[in-house]
A and B are shown apart, each in its own frame.
Chain A
């Protein structure tokens, strides 16, 4: 009886099979590892073909021997359940393990062992692996584009401040929580715009508007902390006082002249670039495309034929044209339709173009969410006396938007990865700078390193966004 059972392991002779199986399996892995890392072939005495397939055969037999159901050994059962359920799966598992072991040494050698990072010129790249020196030398350009080195602190400072202001939500106490939406939807983008317009862009204009706008923003923010009893007086008195102070006490006109002298050096948007430009473009496009998409999706479901067909036409138009032509149009055709003395910056045009383009996609994603809601929700809201806007703001949109978080995240990720296309209008963000660097005569032939670097950076950004969207999903989950 025992003899017939030789090839079908079971519990009665568990350990015999276990030891033989593990031995065979380890021998096969060892053979492949030695072969791949140290180029030693243990089985060179065998014919070539046999020697090549031997680890696979031995490992297969080994896995077959240790496939003992309900052996009672925890890890063995775990392995059997997950990678060793039947002969075919065992073979697949083995193949994947072997391919991984085979690929590891060349990858390691390219990325680390044979790579160079020291030095600051092409000559120091002597190894056969990657030349990280290239990334090191160009790192500054990859981050800031053509932005003057001496002025880069302005970008750093702006981004750090914005990151800090953006994290306010985590520290807000219960009392101020209700203002957070207003802050993130209205105030934060305005602050971000001010930073970028006055600080990163610079120029004599800095002191011109900034006094007025910053004063207005500050007074509005302070306004929220004023007891509602005095709020009306506050909003009448403060602007008046500020105006009188500026005009008659501080002599604002003269301050402007003064400001012009001391202003930050103006850096035109054509010189911006690198990762910082990726962030700027993505940030503003994300912020603009969402509300536009929201209104388009509502418009498409509207009862008024005019609004409905305008929305449909808009959405279908932007979904039907490729982004690259939209960008090209925005930079070449659009200025022709503007009055002669009117000038809109290239970057602004690009941001508007991408926002409108992505808004069409966002609109369709949100429409999916709206359609997924049962009609009873609309009935219930109406039966409580809510009008159109109240119904949508308090009942329909919170549920619909929650449903479409994965879809919106998807669109936003695509948006971030679409930003490299702005190279067609001459704006060089991260991938654009790579293109520029790889054609530099001094550094020909290192495109690979650049693209690996860019993929890692984009992966980090996109993975962070996708994780964040997943967290949001969990946070707003209220069903059982």
Chain B
């Protein structure tokens, strides 16, 4: 069996004196879909932000696709180009059109010719069904469309891993479905995904494993059916009873 694509060992992180993450151990194998859930403030977002080093960890090690995350800038940019990320607040670039949002990084980071990048971008936009909006600006789109564009933008870098940081939390209930559909399609295509979400329906449908976090620790890690049918810890049971 091949090495896991993400290996986290004894990772600790502090914000000042406050310890956000405590002794995190997590291996993610390629093509697996992991859903991370837990109450707010439990360190879920910080965990996945550490995986592409938007946050630095202070102790332990994170190895992504064979490269250990360290101080060295060059390898961080390499890793980031391989790890796509989708944010809660979309974070599209408001001064660029949808198409330019998608082509910016391929052209300037991967040095792709402009024509090729545009083809790729249009193709990705088609996958999430907003190719007809390509020349509009983000401000002219609905929340759901913006989030789908953000997914397409991340996919244009052809990443090996996709991280989702509460992608549907800032959306109207009606728009959640269109974003989740796009994510389900992506999952079916075999992408390695780590998703922080409260959408348990989504977790049941696509996740291979569910992780429950509280107070900076991984409380429970189990495969999906087991997690929902038969949770082990009391904290998980309480959380599930409240959310379902």
Interface residues of A (CB under 8 A from B): 374, 376-377, 379-387, 390, 394-395, 398-399, 402, 476, 478-480
Please name the residue on chain B nearest to A387 by beta carbon.
Answer: B77
7 pairs of A and B residues whose beta carbons are closest in the complex: A385-B81, A380-B91, A384-B105, A376-B91, A383-B85, A480-B139, A385-B80
The answer to the question of B95 belonging to the interface, with a C-beta cut-off of 8 Å to chain A, is: yes
Q: Closest approach, in angstroms, between the C-beta of B117 and any C-beta of chain A?
A: 13
Question: Quick one: which of B84, B93, B140, B150 contacts A480, CB cutoff 8 A?
Answer: B140
Kindly report which residue of chain A lies nearest to residue B93, judged by CB atoms: A395
Take A383-B80, A390-B108 as given contacts and tell me if A376 and B139 are in contact as well, using a CB distance cutoff of 8 Å.
Answer: no
Report 19 cross-chain contacts, Cβ distance below 8 Å, ordered by A residue: A374-B89, A376-B91, A379-B49, A379-B54, A379-B91, A380-B85, A380-B150, A382-B52, A382-B54, A383-B83, A383-B154, A384-B80, A384-B104, A384-B109, A385-B109, A387-B73, A390-B108, A390-B109, A395-B93
Q: Which residue of B lies closest to A402 (CB)?
A: B95
**Which A residue's beta carbon lies closest to that of B108?**
A390
Chain A residues near B85 (CB-CB < 8 A) = 379-380, 383
Residues of A within 8 A of B49 (CB): 379
Of A383, A390, A402, A480, which one neighbours B54 at CB under 8 angstroms?
Answer: A383
Q: Residue B157 at the A interface, CB < 8 A?
A: yes
Q: Would you give the shortest CB distance from B32 to chain A, in whole angstroms?
A: 21
Q: In the complex, A377→B95 CA distance in Å?
A: 11
Q: Which residues of B contact A394 (CB under 8 A)?
A: 104, 108
With A376-B87, A376-B89 known as contacts, the answer to whether A478 contacts B109 (CB < 8 A) is no
* Nearest residue, chain B, Cβ from A384: B105
The residue in chain A whose Cβ has the minimal distance to the Cβ of B80 is A385
B95 touches A476 (CB 8 A): yes
Decide if A479 touches B108 in the complex (CB within 8 Å). Answer: no
Alpha-carbon separation in the docked complex, A399 to B137 (Å): 14
Say whether A479 contacts B94, CB under 8 Å: yes
Contact A384 B89 (CB under 8 A): no
Inter-subunit contact B73/A384 (CB<8 Å): no
- Taking A380-B91, A383-B83, A395-B104 as known contacts, 4 extra A-B pairs with beta carbons closer than 8 A to each other, sorted by chain A number, are A380-B92, A387-B77, A395-B93, A479-B139
- B95 smallest CB distance to A (angstroms): 5
Contacts of B83 in A (CB 8 A): 383
B169 within 8 A of A: no
Find out whether the CB atom of B137 lies under 8 angstroms from the CB atom of A385.
Answer: no
- Give chain A residues whose Cβ lies under 8 Å from the Cβ of B123: none
Docked Cα-Cα span, A387 to B80, in Å, equals: 10
> Please, how many angstroms separate the alpha-carbon atoms of A154 and B49 in the complex?
62
Decide yes or no whether B148 CB sits under 8 A from chain A: no
Bound: A390/B93 CA distance, A: 14
Does B58 touch A at the CB level, under 8 Å? no
B153 within 8 A of A: yes
Please give me the residue from chain B that is nearest to A479 by CB atom: B139
> What chain B residues lie within 8 Å of A384 (beta carbons)?
80-81, 104-105, 109, 153-154, 157
Would B139 and A478 count as touching, CB distance under 8 A? yes
**Cβ contacts under 8 Å, B94 to chain A:** 399, 478-479
> In the complex, how many angstroms separate the beta carbon of B112 from the nearest chain A beta carbon?
12
Chain B residues with Cβ below 8 Å from A386 are: 77, 105, 108-109
**Interchain pairs with CB closer than 8 A, number:** 73
Instruction: Mark interface residues in B67-91 (1 if CB within 8 Å of A CB, else 0).
Output: 0000001000110110111010101
- Interface contact B95-A382, CB-CB below 8 Å: no
- Whole-angstrom CA separation of A476 from B109 in the bound complex: 25
Please, which residue of chain A has its CB at the minimum distance from the CB of B81? Answer: A385
CB A369 to nearest CB in B, in angstroms, measures 12
Bound together, the chains give a CA A188 to CA B80 distance in angstroms of 39
Task: List, in ascending order, chain B residues with CB within 8 A of A480's CB.
Answer: 139-140
- Interchain CB contact (< 8 A) of B105 among A379, A385, A399, A476: A385
B139 close to A380 (CB less than 8 A): no
- Closest beta carbon of chain B to A269's beta carbon, Å: 42
Nearest B residue (CB) for A388: B73
Chain A min CB distance to B142 (Å): 11
Find B80's partner among A382, A395, A479 (CB 8 Å cutoff).
A382
Report yes or no: B87 in contact with A379, Cβ–Cβ below 8 A: yes
The residues in B between 131 and 149 inclusive whose CB is less than 8 angstroms from any CB of A are 137, 139-140
A384 to B137, CA, bound (A): 19
A385 touches B78 (CB 8 A): yes
A211 to B97 alpha-carbon distance, docked (Å): 45
- A162 to B15, alpha carbons, bound, how many Å? 56
Residues of the A chain whose Cβ atoms lie less than 8 Å from the Cβ of B157: 384-385
Contact partner of A380 (CB less than 8 A), chosen from B78, B93, B108, is B93
A385 contacts across to B, CB distance below 8 A = 77-78, 80-81, 105, 109-110, 157
**Which of A374, A383, A387, A399 has the most CB atoms of chain B within a 10 A radius of its CB?**
A383
Q: Which residue of B lies closest to A379 (CB)?
A: B54
A240 CB → nearest B CB, Å: 31
Chain B residues near A395 (CB, 8 Å)?
93, 104
Q: What distance in Å separates the Cβ of A377 from its nearest Cβ neighbour in chain B?
A: 6
| Most chain B CB neighbours (cut-off 10 Å) among A380, A399, A476, A480 | A380
Cα distance, A394 to B136, chains bound together (Å): 18
Neighbouring B residues of A382 by C-beta, 8 Å: 52, 54, 80
In the complex, what residues of B have CB within 8 A of residue A402's CB?
A: 95
Tell me which of B52, B78, B80, B83 has the highest count of chain A C-beta atoms within 10 A of its own C-beta: B80
Give the Cβ gap from A183 to chain B, nearest Cβ, in Å: 21
Shortest Cβ distance from residue A398 to the other chain B in the assembled complex, whole angstroms: 5
**Using a CB-CB cutoff of 8 Å, which residues 82-132 of chain B contact chain A?**
83-85, 87, 89, 91-95, 104-105, 108-110
B109 touches A399 (CB 8 A): no
Residues on B with beta carbons closer than 8 Å to the beta carbon of A398? 95
Q: Specify which chain A residues have a CB less than 8 angstroms from the CB of B154 in the assembled complex.
A: 383-384
Give bound CA distance, A480 to B136, whole Å.
10
CB distance from A411 to the nearest CB of B (A): 22
Q: How close is A399's CB to chain B, nearest CB, in angstroms?
A: 5
Contact of A383 among B52, B73, B93 (CB under 8 A): B52
B6-57: which residues lie under 8 A (CB-CB) from chain A?
49, 52, 54
Kindly state the separation between the CA atoms of A383 and B48 in the bound complex, as whole angstroms. 12
Q: Which residues of chain A are near B91, meaning CB under 8 Å?
A: 374, 376-377, 379-380
CB nearest to B49 among chain A residues? A379
Contact B81 A478 (CB under 8 A): no
